[in-house]
Amino acid sequence: MAEILVVVEQTDGTIKKVTLELLTLAQSLGSPSAVWLGSGYTDAAGSSLAEYGADKIYVSDSSELNDFVVAPKAETLAAIMADAAPAAVLIASTAEGKEIAGRLAIKANSGVITDAVAVSADLIATQSVFGGSTIVQTTVTTGTPIITVRPNSTTPVAKAGAGSRVDVAATISAASRGAKVTGRTVAQKGGRPELAEAAIVVSGGRGVNGADGFGVIEALADSLGAAVGASRAATDAGWYPHQYQVGQTGKTVSPQLYIANGISGAIQHRAGMQTSKTVIVVNKDPEAPIFELADYGVVGDLFAVVPQLTDEIEKRKA
Amino acid sequence: MKIAVCVKQVPDTWAEKKLRDDDSTLDREAADGVMNELDEYAVEEALRLAEANGGEVVVVTMGPERAAETVRKALSMGADAGVHLVDDSLHGSDALATSYALAEVLAARNFDLVIFGSESTDARMSVVPAMVAERLGLPQVTFAQKVDVDGSKVAIQRQTEYGYDDVEAELPAVVSVVEKINEPRYPSFKGIMAAKKKPVETLTVADAGLDAAKLGATAAWTKVASFAARPPKAAGTVVTDEGDGGAKIATYLTEQKFV
Ligand SMILES: Cc1cc2nc3c(=O)[nH]c(=O)nc-3n(C[C@H](O)[C@H](O)[C@H](O)COP(=O)(O)OP(=O)(O)OC[C@H]3O[C@@H](n4cnc5c(N)ncnc54)[C@H](O)[C@@H]3O)c2cc1C
Ligand SMILES: Nc1ncnc2c1ncn2[C@@H]1O[C@H](COP(=O)(O)O)[C@@H](O)[C@H]1O
């Protein structure tokens, strides 16, 4: 069975959930091979990858891969791809994942598809485009399909793989050393799940009316074990940090449940949350366009509705 | 300093977008064309860098005849000159082909800095800047929320999943900018009048010395097999809060097994 390369998303050695999703997808396409690019590889990480189906684990455990922007990862991945001759390469559809995919496509003379929400056994990718109004089936006609897949597109399913480790030296040419990372700033991260990966996202917009107002949003999020998101109106006003912006120029999320509070539903916001499975809306304006997406909506003041909802959830959990 | 800024004309953000039945490409006739709104930030940043460091700003676009309006808009914001690659054979080009064409046009003009938007609102791939950097073998300093040029160096803050990275590179380099970097200016009346006299070089595929076999729909490495309108979502339930709105949502969430 042909190999399916899955690029591992990890921070400091911790594997992200999207990687397990991609391995699960790869199980249905061929023999999953995980590709680890960067420092921090551990046997425990290897075991998790094998648990979700990785037959092979290519490990390029070099801190240099993180010292320069994108190019070294694309170059090392291209070398692995040339040796492995896989049937497809799967990468998480994050900003950096897409950049790696784009550069890899040129190096490997292969077509690239971004933002897939599903990939069929015959390697046809499904994309949801134009703000979710159109569903497109796309195939790669030249080279090896390179497909970036959105987080939360599949549910991880464990299936033991052989997990044999193959060490690979990083390939970093002079041209790949052009953009040097000189500093890294990690914004404060609370105990909540990561926005792009969360199964539930609770968001606040201009209606939250200030940084303090986000207290009610966070309380609801915590009652559901959810991540917190924000509209650009809220991040621009400085009420919530920019990393939590959902939308065209923020994060794309595709959770099981999205709760939009005090958000009108501008096209740029919808672009980042339209593929959410279930949408709940709280807004005092019955004409707000976000109601068009609602599975369940309440026209009302979020400062009354949201705390009551949080209390009810806490009661039901007790 | 010679700065290129790559802009794309896209269907109006608010217009309904659809694919053509004949060749499954975006129907660009169906809606008004506007400058990709994320490219306005790229134009603004180019103008600011030229104002601060001295230099010239050249706007570069690939697109149908009417994309000339978008070049004109960048000129009326203050760019000095335009390059418009226009040729029927370009229709249907994918990101790989677009990056090839742009890279060749840029390489022939020796820029110190090439600035892109972070994403086109129609294709939404966010790959063209990285691809152009790859093709030109230039440093990729993309997703910048801050750009500083100092002599022969460019330093940016690269927006990341977790915050940002500080990144440095020698010029020439390829930059893309995110929307929070600046506030794009509106063209002034004077700017609009001045734009009419600014030089725009219109190039065909042959003029630009491009290999036609690498361009257009037939050269695309991906193919839309089929497409369909998303089945309309069943209308949801919307209720007015009568003091029990939160409880009602809780009941719904329990029914749906979220709680
Ligand atoms: C280039 C560009 C990129 C952009 N990218 C993004 C992006 O990534 N993400 C994004 O979100 N936006 C983005 N935007 C901005 C977008 O166009 C909207 O301006 C923004 O989404 C509006 O945020 P909002 O819904 O919170 O605010 P508003 O549109 O002001 O809506 C506030 C809503 O809150 C309701 N409300 C007020 N008070 C209450 C209350 N007490 N209880 C209940 N409801 C209340 C109001 O009825 C209203 O519907 C972008 C814009 C541009 C030009
Ligand atoms: N046809 C084009 N002409 C000029 N610039 C383009 C074109 N297509 C894309 N770009 C640039 O590449 C960026 C990213 O586009 P994309 O990869 O399509 O999301 C845009 O913001 C533009 O700066």
Q: Both A35 and A159 in a single domain?
A: yes
Query: In this model, does residue A168 exceed pLDDT 70?
Result: yes
Q: Both A77 and A105 in a single domain?
A: yes
Question: Rounded to whole angstroms, how far apart are CA atoms A106 and A123?
Answer: 20
Mutation target to probe the B interface, by most B beta carbons within 10 A, among A146, A189, A249 is A249
Phi, psi of A28 (to 5 degrees): -85, -5
- According to DSSP, the β-strands at B237-240 and A14-15 are unpaired
Element spanning B6, H or E: strand B2-6
* Model confidence band, residue A3 (pLDDT cutoffs 50, 70, 90): very high
Instruction: Give the Cβ contact number of residue A75 at 10 Å.
Output: 22
Predicted confidence (pLDDT) per residue in A5-18, tens digit: 999 999 888 999 99
Predicted confidence (pLDDT) per residue in A23-82, tens digit: 999 999 999 999 999 999 999 999 999 999 999 999 999 999 999 999 999 999 999 999
Nearest CA to ligand 1 atom 9: A247
> Pick the residue with more confidence: A174 or B24?
A174
Q: Tell me, yes or no, whether B246 lies in a domain.
A: no
Q: Do B238 and A134 touch (CB under 8 A)?
A: no
**Which residues in chain A touch residue B245, judged by CB atoms under 8 angstroms apart?**
282, 298, 300, 304-305, 308-309
CATH number at residue A63: 3.40.50.620
> Pick the residue with more confidence: B25 or B105?
B105
Q: Tell me, yes or no, whether A60 lies in a domain.
A: yes
Q: Do B225 and A112 touch (CB under 8 A)?
A: no
Assess contact for A128 and A274: CB atoms under 8 A: yes
pLDDT, position A189: 63
Predicted confidence (pLDDT) per residue in A202-212, tens digit: 999 999 999 99
Most confident of A100-104, A152-156, B22-26: A100-104
Query: In this model, does residue B253 exceed pLDDT 80?
Result: yes
Query: In this model, does residue B240 exceed pLDDT 80?
Result: yes
* Model confidence band, residue A239 (pLDDT cutoffs 50, 70, 90): very high
Q: Both A39 and A141 in a single domain?
A: yes
Q: Both A151 and A212 in a single domain?
A: no
Q: How wide is the angle at C-alpha A149 spanned by C-alphas A147 and A155, nearest 5°?
A: 135
Assess contact for B151 and B168: CB atoms under 8 A: no
Q: Tell me, yes or no, whether B71 lies in a domain.
A: yes
Q: Which of A314, A14, A21 is nearest to A148 (CA)?
A: A21
Nearest chain B residue to A291 by CA distance is B238
Write out the residue range of the structural domain in which residue A144 sits. 3-177
Query: In this model, does residue A133 exceed pLDDT 90?
Result: no
Domain count, chain A: 2
Cα(A236) to centroid(ligand 1), Å: 10
Q: Tell me, yes or no, whether B236 lies in a domain.
A: no
CATH number at residue B155: 3.40.50.620
Q: Tell me, yes or no, whether A184 lies in a domain.
A: no
Amino acid sitting at position B246: G
Q: Partners of B62 in the beta sheet?
A: B85
Q: Tell me, yes or no, whether B156 lies in a domain.
A: yes
Amino acid sitting at position A137: Q
Domain C-terminal end among A177, A208, A233: A177
Q: Both A172 and A63 in a single domain?
A: yes
Q: Both A237 and A138 in a single domain?
A: no
Structural tokens at position A280: 């709940």
Cβ contacts from A onto B, under 8 A: 268
**Which residues in chain A touch residue B240, judged by CB atoms under 8 angstroms apart?**
286, 298-300
CATH number at residue A211: 3.40.50.1220
pLDDT, position B233: 76
Q: Tell me, yes or no, whether A185 lies in a domain.
A: no
Predicted confidence (pLDDT) per residue in A83-127, tens digit: 999 999 999 999 999 999 999 999 999 999 999 999 999 999 999
Predicted confidence (pLDDT) per residue in A295-316, tens digit: 999 999 999 999 999 999 999 9
Classify residue B92 as left (phi > 0), alpha (psi -120 to 50) or beta: left
Nearest CA to ligand 2 atom 10: B8
Q: Both A309 and A267 in a single domain?
A: yes
Comparing A176-180, A186-190, B211-215, B240-244, the range with the smallest average pLDDT is A186-190
**Which residues in chain B touch residue A233, judged by CB atoms under 8 angstroms apart?**
none
Q: Tell me, yes or no, whether B57 lies in a domain.
A: yes
Question: Rounded to whole angstroms, how far apart are CA atoms A71 and A100?
Answer: 7
Q: Both A140 and A210 in a single domain?
A: no
Nearest chain B residue to A140 by CA distance is B222
Query: In this model, does residue B90 exceed pLDDT 70?
Result: yes
Q: Tell me, yes or no, whether B198 lies in a domain.
A: yes
B135 Cβ partners below 8 Å, 6+ apart? A106, B99, B100, B103
Q: Both A223 and A158 in a single domain?
A: no
Q: Do A179 and B254 touch (CB under 8 A)?
A: no
Predicted confidence (pLDDT) per residue in B61-76, tens digit: 999 999 999 999 999 9
* Model confidence band, residue B12 (pLDDT cutoffs 50, 70, 90): confident
Angle between the N-to-C axes of helices B128-136 and A71-84, in degrees from 0 to 180, rounded to the nearest 10: 80
Q: Tell me, yes or no, whether B32 lies in a domain.
A: yes
Domain C-terminal end among A151, A177, A203: A177
Q: Both A16 and A162 in a single domain?
A: yes
Domain C-terminal end among A177, A205, A220: A177
Domain count, chain B: 1
Task: Work out the mean pLDDT of chain A and round it to a whole number.
Answer: 95
Looking at B54-186, list the stretches that DSSP marks H as alpha helix, in order from N- to C-terminal side.
68-77, 95-107, 128-136
Q: Tell me, yes or no, whether A187 lies in a domain.
A: no
Q: What is the dihedral of CA B32, B34, B37, B43, to 10 degrees?
A: 180
Query: In this model, does residue B232 exceed pLDDT 80?
Result: no
Query: In this model, does residue B239 exceed pLDDT 70?
Result: yes
Give the rounded percent of residues in chain A with a pLDDT score beyond 90: 91
Write out the residue range of the structural domain in which residue B126 sits. 2-219
Structural tokens at position A100: 């790696």
Q: Both A31 and A167 in a single domain?
A: yes
Most confident of A19-23, B9-13, B222-226: A19-23
Q: Tell me, yes or no, whether A186 lies in a domain.
A: no
pLDDT, position B229: 86
pLDDT, position B121: 86
pLDDT, position B89: 95
Phi, psi of A79 (to 5 degrees): -65, -40
> Pick the residue with more confidence: B92 or B29?
B92
Predicted confidence (pLDDT) per residue in B26-39, tens digit: 888 877 899 999 99
Task: Work out the mean pLDDT of chain B and round it to a whole number.
Answer: 94
Q: Tell me, yes or no, whether B231 lies in a domain.
A: no
Q: Tell me, yes or no, whether A183 lies in a domain.
A: no
Query: In this model, does residue B107 exceed pLDDT 80?
Result: yes
Any ligand 1 atom below 6 A from CB of A204? no
Q: Both A117 and A222 in a single domain?
A: no
Q: Tell me, yes or no, whether A237 lies in a domain.
A: yes
